[in-house]
Amino acid sequence: MKLISDYMRDENSRHMLNALTRKTFGFDFEGWVTNGYFEGDYIPYSLVENGVMISNVSANKMRFVQNGVIKNYIQLGTVMTDESYRNQGLAAKLMQHVIKEYEDKCDGIYLFGDLSAMGFYRKMGFDIVNQYMYFVKEEFCNSGKSGGPFMPVSEMDEDIKKKYKELVRLSYPHSAFEQMNKFGLQMFYTSGMDSVYYSSDLDCFIVKEQDGDTVLGSVLCRKKVRLAEVLKRINVGNRLRLGFVPLGEDKELCDCSLYDGADDYRLFYRGSELEAIERDKLYFPDLSHA
């Protein structure tokens, strides 16, 4: 059995990872890499036996500005062992390897763990921390429309799509807890442009989805755009949830409530720095989940 790592540009190893990821989670990394969205911040650690990948834990390098201070975290993801090799200590072996590799070199390690795997992460020494979710107060959701509305980018020409991709890298931060190196993960979710909208008078892009609530996932502009300006240009169905923490000056437009991950996940962490997530009422951006 061989441990291989950091091979995303090597076709043979990547195809082995794709095969195990498809089998376990029903997706793969092929288009993401070949379309140029992988930029080195996703580092898989994998066990290979007889030319087949049997277990994997991936480290995502996450660089945030957290209330004005830069934090370098590692987010673990794509944690999986082939069904016929489970309960033999393989994922534990990779976890211990990755933790040893990064623990002293970053401000904390975290992951969004499925409810079915909670016992596994607890055994690996992770604790659970809660986040806070932000909702725009009803009186600000539909309080008078003006300006050029946000229009679907999927129906616009290639220049606008190119401009969106540039702004994913270069936007003014619109969150008090902003991921700086968001290109890889945000493009994983939005390269199809289905949820991307553009307002020409603001020269601003948003990512917006419908998930029971309307979810505003991202605001991208070279200059700072106040949340109120975005709200004037979108129609909100029931409720508007932010998929990120608003800037301090926009917090008065929002209510926030403790969020434990409900039926979707628990946020597991190692390293006391990450206790600030709950204490400071923070929320990892939806579009930063590995």
Ligand X SMILES: CC(C)(COP(=O)(O)OP(=O)(O)OC[C@H]1O[C@@H](n2cnc3c(N)ncnc32)[C@H](O)[C@@H]1OP(=O)(O)O)[C@@H](O)C(=O)NCCC(=O)NCCS
Residues that bind ligand X (CB under 6 A): 24, 55, 79-81, 86-92, 113-114, 116-117, 119-120, 123
Query: Least distance to ligand X from the beta carbon of 114, Å?
Result: 4
Query: Least distance to ligand X from the beta carbon of 144, Å?
Result: 43
Provide the 10 A C-beta neighbour count for residue 252: 10
Query: Least distance to ligand X from the beta carbon of 275, Å?
Result: 21
The smaller minimum CB distance to ligand X, of residues 20 and 196, is found at 20
The smaller minimum CB distance to ligand X, of residues 79 and 136, is found at 79
What's the CA gap between 16 and 277, in Å, rounded? 35
Task: Enter the tokens of residue 218.
Answer: 């991202």
The smaller minimum CB distance to ligand X, of residues 111 and 242, is found at 111
The smaller minimum CB distance to ligand X, of residues 114 and 229, is found at 114
Report which of 79, 86, 34 is spatially closest to residue 60, judged by C-alpha positions. 79
- Residues linked to residue 121 through DSSP beta bridges, in sequence order: none
The 8-class DSSP code of residue 245 comes to P
Q: In what order do the strands lie in the sheet with 131-136?
A: 151-152, 196-199, 204-211, 213-220, 240-242, 131-136, 254-259
The smaller minimum CB distance to ligand X, of residues 17 and 193, is found at 17
The smaller minimum CB distance to ligand X, of residues 131 and 214, is found at 131
Tell me how far apart the terminal alpha carbons of the chain are, to the nearest angstrom.
26
Query: Least distance to ligand X from the beta carbon of 240, Å?
Result: 28
Query: Least distance to ligand X from the beta carbon of 278, Å?
Result: 20
The b-or-e profile of 163-201 (16+ CB within 10 A means b, else e) is: ebbebbeebeebbbbbbebbbbbbbbbbbebebbbbbee
* CB closest to ligand X, residue no: 119
Query: Least distance to ligand X from the beta carbon of 26, Å?
Result: 11
Provide the 10 A C-beta neighbour count for residue 13: 18
What's the CA gap between 10 and 29, in Å, rounded? 12
Distances (CA, A) of 72 to 107, 128, 174: 5, 19, 19
What is the DSSP code string of 110-141?
EEEE-GGGHHHHHHTT-EEE-EEEEEE-HHHH
Contact 49, 159 (CB under 8 A): no
Query: Least distance to ligand X from the beta carbon of 208, Å?
Result: 27
The smaller minimum CB distance to ligand X, of residues 69 and 262, is found at 262
The smaller minimum CB distance to ligand X, of residues 100 and 223, is found at 100
Query: Least distance to ligand X from the beta carbon of 59, Å?
Result: 14
